Amino acid sequence: MRSVLALALFLSAPAFAQKADTATKPPLQDLRVERTLNELGFVYEHDETGEYRLLFETTEDRTHLVWVRPDTDYLLNMEVREVYAIANEYIGGGPGAIPMELLEANGQFVLGAWAIDETAIVFVTKIRANASAAELEAALLATASTADELEAELTGDLDEW
């Protein structure tokens, strides 16, 4: 009986461990992000939700917007935040060619993954909340270039994001 209970607890742990603990929320703006962005010399602004918005040049003739969330989530004792970029609007529901391609592409990324919310295809990179300048820079650049590549593929010459 004891081994069955231990096995049940063991098997339920991964599901519990992946659930974000959002009970404690930091202030709308996080000084750690601001200090690091300033250290990197990046120009940014706050949008209406307090997120940090940055514009990156991805190629000679393209740019891409990237956001850094000021709020964080916890996984046990690890504090993480999201860096994300919108690749394109998403109007649809249910399985389709684009969602399946994105799921297949997720296995190729060292950092970050595609997600679809109610209205957009988004590349999301989760990093430590107190990431170093080099780590944040890598996440920002990877997020911008990955999202911009898909935007260019889906829209051609349009450079909306």
pLDDT tens by residue, 94-126: 556 677 888 888 889 999 999 988 889 999 999
pLDDT of residue 156: 80
The domain tally of the chain equals 1
Residue 55 reports pLDDT greater than 90: yes
Q: Show the domain range for 18.
A: 2-155
Distance CA 93, CA 60 (A): 35
CATH of the domain at 103: 3.30.1460.10
Residue 152 reports pLDDT greater than 80: yes
Return the beta strands (E) in 60-161 as ranges.
62-68, 73-75, 78-89, 113-116, 120-128
pTM: 0.78
